[in-house]
Structure 1
Amino acid sequence: MLSCRPFFRQIKNMSHSAHKLVLASTSSYRRELLARLQIPFEVAAPEVDESALAGESPGATAERLAEAKARDVGMRFPNALVIGSDQIAYNAGGRFGKPGTRDKAAAQLRAMSGGSIFFHTGLCLFNTATGNVQLRGIPVEVGFRTLTEAEIQRYLDREDALNCAGSAKSEGLGIALMRYLRGDDPNALIGLPLIALCDMLRAEGMTVP
């Protein structure tokens, strides 16, 4: 796992922006992705109820929660650019959360075998100094191979995917379970759409790269 604190200290150029950059997430995946941009940032945990509202579409849930997380953390940082992100995985059969157990992960993989699943990532950048909010939704469609029970069990033996919605890590061995990825940014599938985020940061005056 990437440690962000040493990374912060190693960066010499601190003049990307007058604003502090804050990631409103405790996800190690999002920290690792954001670190690729080589911009110093802090991490703060949002306190947001992540339950979906009645009748709310998966995309609307993801975007609403991304903004809610950014605004919640933004209350603690008066002069910052705060990044909020949330992801909902779903198909016609329903939503797929983090399985938590091996049995649930195997059940998710069986349900997705031979079909496709959508990952809708909501991304928000909140400028706490100006109140400006940028909000986008970035979908990625993942097609799964028809999986045998032996393949499912071998995969779960080799990779810890219990904290991953959909139970398959595209950045790891999970890519071997897939037929295709369709979307504008493969990083969105992991949890943080970097292409869209770079556009947002530039709109706020930050130099990237």
Structure 2
Amino acid sequence: MTAASRTLVLASTSPYRRELLAKLQVAFEVAAPEVDETPLPDETPDAAALRLSALKAKAVAERFPDALIIGSDQVATLNGQHIGKPGNHDNAVAQLRLMRGQQIVFHTALSLYNTATGNLQSAIVPTTVQIRPLTDLQIEHYLRKDQPYNCAGSARSEALGIAIMEKMEGTDPNALIGLPLIALTHMLMQENWDVLL
């Protein structure tokens, strides 16, 4: 099946995910999933991310009866504890002070839902990031320049945030930004949808 023969939908309002999907040079639509992203009691980070990625994909399914819908979610953790989006400068300062010199795990989940067949594929793509032992002044300067207040862990690796990172380990650099493209192209091929054809 060629890229033009079925609608591809990104169930996300994230500009970062939109930019990542555009790298594949395929036509796609964007739909906003209205879902409650609150973790369930005793839910592990992996399980939360997987559940929410599938929930997002299915949330817009009624609008697209013959489509492949992409849902994605990311949960960042420090020592097993959830780290959300800071939302403002003061919260970001507090997050980075807590994270400096530490390892953060970004659990990025991806789901691909075929609305015509009901087939759902899901995967989790973890990325471990070692944060530099930052000074208060470095944290302040970084945040004033990059303003990553809508990013989990107060850092954007695709921008200046790369400078606060000592190293990262994972199978797909795109997963850290929010959409694992290697896993996505594999899932699309399982649906006979090849981005190269």
- Normalising by structure 1, report the TM-score: 0.91
Supply the distance in 2 between the matched residues of 1:40 and 1:93 (Cα, whole angstroms).
38
Identity level (%): 58
Aligned length: 196
From 158, 161, 167, give the equivalent of 1:171. Answer: 158
From 147, 159, 170, give the equivalent of 1:183. Answer: 170
State the shift of 1:76 in Å. 1.3
From 30, 40, 62, give the equivalent of 2:27. Answer: 40
Given that 1:123 and 1:136 are in contact with CA atoms closer than 8 Å, whether structure 2 keeps it comes out as yes
Pair 1:113-2:100 in alignment? yes
Partner of 1:7: none
Secondary structure (helix, strand or coil) at the match of 2:133 reads coil
Given that 1:98 and 1:163 are in contact with CA atoms closer than 8 Å, whether structure 2 keeps it comes out as yes
Supply the distance in 2 between the matched residues of 1:46 and 1:203 (Cα, whole angstroms).
24
From 16, 40, 44, give the equivalent of 1:29. Answer: 16
Secondary structure (helix, strand or coil) at the match of 2:157 reads coil
Secondary structure (helix, strand or coil) at the match of 1:104 reads helix
* Alignment gaps of 5+ in structure 1: 1-13
* Alignment gaps of 5+ in structure 2: none
Tell me how large the CA RMSD over aligned residues is.
Answer: 1.2
From 41, 44, 48, give the equivalent of 1:61. Answer: 48
Given that 1:17 and 1:207 are in contact with CA atoms closer than 8 Å, whether structure 2 keeps it comes out as no
Structure of higher RCO (CA pairs closer than 8 Å, 6+ residues apart): 2
Supply the distance in 2 between the matched residues of 1:104 and 1:16 (Cα, whole angstroms).
42
Partner of 1:70: 57
State the shift of 1:139 in Å. 0.4
Instruction: List structure 1 runs of 4+ shifted beyond 2 angstroms.
Output: none
Supply the distance in 1 between the matched residues of 2:121 and 2:37 (Cα, whole angstroms).
20
